[in-house]
Chains A and B, each alone.
Chain A
Amino acid sequence: MKTQNQYGWYFVLPVLLLVAFNALIPMMTVVNYSVQETFGDNVFFWQGLDWFEQILRSDRFHAALGRQFLFTGLILAIEIPLGIIIALAMPRQGFWVPVCLVTMALPMLIPWNVVGAMWNIFTLPEIGLLGYFMNNTLGISYDMTQDPIAAWVTIVTMDVWHWTSLVVLLSYAGLVSIPDAYYQAAKIDGASPWSVFRHIQLPKMKTVLTIAILLRFMDSFNIYTEPFVLTGGGPGNSTTLLSIDLVKIALGQFDLGPAAAMSLIYFAITLLVSWLFYTLMTKDDGK
C-alpha cells in the first residue's frame, strides 16, 4: 500500500482558509438564521425547517422563481446564438480585429449599476433617446414604468446589450483556435458553410460554449443590480426577480429567517441547474 503523506494538506490550506472566509463562514451565518427566529438583541428562537416550508409553499416565491426562469431562459435563448453569430461574422485577422474586440468588450467594462441607470434614462418616455423616439417618432406607446411588457423587453434588451459580448469573446477565442487545416480539409471536401459550422466550428467551440452557457446562466439567474436600478422590480411585481424579492424580504421587511431560508433554496437551485447544464453538455466528452 502507498504511504499516505499528509503534507499535501499544508499546500491546500491557504485555499481552504480563503474559501472558508469568503464562502463557508458567511454561509453558515445564513444557515444559522434560516432555522431560527430573531427579534434583534441577539435573542434567537429555534424554528426548525419552518421557514423553508413557508418559502417553498409561498405563491410569492413561486411567482418570483417563475419570472427568474423566464428571464434566464430568454437571456440564454437570445445571447448564446447571437453571440455565436457575431463571433462568426468577426474578422479573424487584419486591422479590424482589435477594433471589433475592444468594441465588444466595452459594455462589459461599465459598472452594473451604471448600466441600469443608463438604460433607465435612455428609455424615459419624454427625455430618453429611445423612449422619445418610440413614443413621439414611431408613435408606439412605450413606458416601462407603466407597462410590464415594456419593462420586460427593456431588461432583456439591456442584458443582451450588456452580456452578449461575453459569449462573443469566448466563441471567438474558440473559433480562432481552430487550425486552418480544418477549413482546408472542408474546402477540399466541398463542404457547405453550414457543414463547416456544424461539423467543425461547433464541435471545436463546445468547450468554450459550455463555459459561456454556465457563466451566463449563473450570472443571469443571480442578477440583481441592473434590473433593480432600471425597474426596481416593477411595475407592480412584474420584474421582481428572485434576488430582488430576496432583498425585499431581508432588508425591506427585515424577515431574516425566511430570507435566509430563501437564500439557501436559491443557492441550491442555482447549483442544481448548473450541475445539470454541465453534466448534459459534457456527457459525450469521456466516451
Chain B
Amino acid sequence: MIELRDISKKIGQIIHIKPTSLTLQTGHFNVLLGETGSGKTSLIKLMAGLDLAASGQILINGQDVTKLSPQKRNISLVHQFFVNYPHMTVFDNIASPLRVAGMAKSEIQGRVEEAADILQLRPMLNRRPQELSGGQQQRTALARAIAKESQAVFLDEPLANLDYKLREELREQLPELFAGRGAVVIYATSEPEEALLLGGETALMHDGHVAQFGPTAEIYRKPANLTSARVFSDPPINSATIQKNGAQASLPTGVSWPLDGQAAALPDGAYTVAVRPHHVTPASQGAQAVELTGQVQVTELSGSESSAHFLMGTDNWVSLAHGVHPYEVGEDHAFWMDPAHCYYFAPDGKLVA
C-alpha cells in the first residue's frame, strides 16, 4: 500500500504537484490518467524517490519513505523508453538489481528464469538488448521489475513507444503479470481508453493534482467534476453553458429540453452541461433525443466510426457514431443529443446531476 499525505513538489516558483493525498492498494492496478504535463511522471518520481517532496509524507506499506533514497524503497520503474544496460545480456539485465542486492547465485538464476518464462524471453536470455525488437526490450525491462519482487512497480507509459499490435498484446497481459505478486502497480498513461481497458483504480490527474480517484469504471460513469469529465474522455467531452429555468434547460442557441429528477430539483440559474461524443449522434436515438444544429467543421472516418466536429453557437462539439455518415464540411447538420446521458455541473465545476 502506498499512502501519499499532502505530498507536493515545486521547482523554483513552478508548482509541479499541488498538495495531494492518495492511497493506492497492494495488488491493485492503479492507473494515473492525465495529459502530458499533468503531473503523472512528477508524482511517480516522488513515489519512487527520484525527486524529494517539498512537503508531505509518503508511506510504503506503513513505512515512512519520504526521505529515503530510491534504492531503499524497494521499487521498480519501467519507462516509456526501453531502458536496459546496453552491453549486458538479457539475463544479466534481469539479474542486475538482484546482484546489486547481493543475492545468492542460485536464487538469481531461479528468479530470472521465472520472470523470463512469464514474459516469454527464455530464448533471448543470451542476447543483448539491441538485438531485440522494441517489444522484447520492453519485456526485458518488465522482467527486471518482476524478478526484483519489489513492493511497488511504476510503469510510466510503458507502451507508448510500441507499435499498435504489440501495445494491445502487452496491455492485455500486464494486469495478469503483476496479479498476486504483492506489489502496488502504478501505471501512467495519457489515453483514457487505456485506463478503461486496464480496469482497476484510476486517478485522474490535471494540472498537478488528482481531480478524482476511484474504481475506473465508476469514475468514468460518474465524474465528480468537470475536470474529471474532461480528462476521462477521448475525443474531448462536449460542454456548454445552459440556463436552467424550472424543469427546462436551454442552450445559448435557444435549443431547450425538459429536465427530470435531480436536475429538475436544482435551483434555477447557470450550469454546465456535458455529454460524451458518442451520445451526440447524427440520427435520433429515441423520443427524448434533443435536436441540435451545428456547422460541420471537420470530419473523420476511423474504421467503423465516424466523427464530426461541429460549431454550435460558440461551442465546438464532437459527435461520434457508428457507420459512415455523409457530412459536408461547412454545411449545417442536425445532431441528436441523448439527455439521459447528460452531466450537469455547478459553476464551481462540481457534478450536481
Contacts and interface: CB of A to CB of B under 8 A. Distances in A.
A83 B70 CA distance: 31
Contact of A189 (B71, B88, B128, B131): B71
Given A179-B81, A287-B131, A204 B86 contact: yes
Interface stretch (B94-102, B177-185, B236-244, B310-318): B94-102
A92 interface: no
B75 interface: yes
B100 A191 contact: yes
Contact of A200 (B49, B69, B70, B85): B85
Nearest to B71: A190
Contacts of B97: 188-190
A189 B48 CA distance: 11
Contact of A203 (B76, B77, B79, B87): B87
Contacts of A200: 85-86
Given A199-B88, A200-B85, A203-B86, A185 B77 contact: yes
A185 B71 contact: no
A182 B45 CA distance: 14
B101 A190 contact: yes
A191 B85 CA distance: 12
A181 B97 CA distance: 15
A184 B77 contact: yes
Interface residues of A, number: 17
Contact of A182 (B69, B71, B83): B83
Interface string B50-69: 10000000000000000001
Interface string B81-122: 101011110000000110011000000000000000000000
B213 to A, nearest CB: 25
Contacts of B70: 184, 187-188, 190
A207 to B, nearest CB: 11
Nearest to B131: A287
A188 B81 contact: no
A184 B87 CA distance: 18
A187 B69 CA distance: 8
Contacts of A287: 128, 131
Interface in B31-49: 45, 48-49
Given A181-B81, A287-B131, A188 B88 contact: no
Interface in A82-124: none
Interface in B281-314: none
Contacts of A203: 85-87
A42 B83 CA distance: 67
A188 B76 contact: yes
Contacts of A187: 49-50, 69-71
Contacts of A182: 83
A204 B86 CA distance: 7
Contacts of A185: 77, 79, 83
Given A287-B128, A287-B131, A188 B87 contact: no
Nearest to B86: A203
Contacts of A184: 45, 48, 50, 70, 77, 79, 83
A189 B83 contact: no
Contact of B83 (A179, A190, A191, A284): A179
A26 B5 CA distance: 76
B131 A188 contact: no
Nearest to A192: B100
A246 to B, nearest CB: 41
B246 to A, nearest CB: 58
B96 A189 contact: yes
Interface in A176-219: 179, 181-182, 184-185, 187-191, 195, 199-200, 203-204
A187 B73 CA distance: 11
A191 B70 CA distance: 11
Nearest to A183: B50
B87 A199 contact: yes
Contacts of A199: 85, 87-88, 96
A287 B128 CA distance: 8
Contacts of B71: 187-190
B75 A188 contact: yes
Nearest to B145: A188
B162 to A, nearest CB: 16
Nearest to B76: A188
Given A189-B100, A191-B100, A181 B48 contact: no
B90 to A, nearest CB: 14
A188 B83 contact: no
Nearest to B75: A188
Contacts of B72: 190
Contacts of B49: 187
Nearest to B98: A189
Given A181-B83, A203-B86, A190 B128 contact: no
A68 B244 CA distance: 92
A199 B83 CA distance: 12
Contact of A181 (B76, B79, B85): B79
A159 B49 CA distance: 45
12 contacts: A179-B81, A184-B48, A184-B50, A187-B70, A187-B71, A188-B71, A189-B71, A189-B97, A189-B100, A190-B100, A199-B88, A287-B131
Given A179-B81, A187-B70, A203-B86, 10 more contacts: A179-B83, A181-B79, A181-B81, A185-B79, A187-B69, A188-B50, A199-B88, A204-B86, A284-B87, A287-B128
Interface of B: 45, 48-50, 69-72, 75-77, 79, 81, 83, 85-88, 96-97, 100-101, 128, 131
8 A-B pairs closest in CB distance: A190-B71, A203-B87, A181-B79, A189-B97, A203-B86, A188-B70, A181-B83, A187-B70
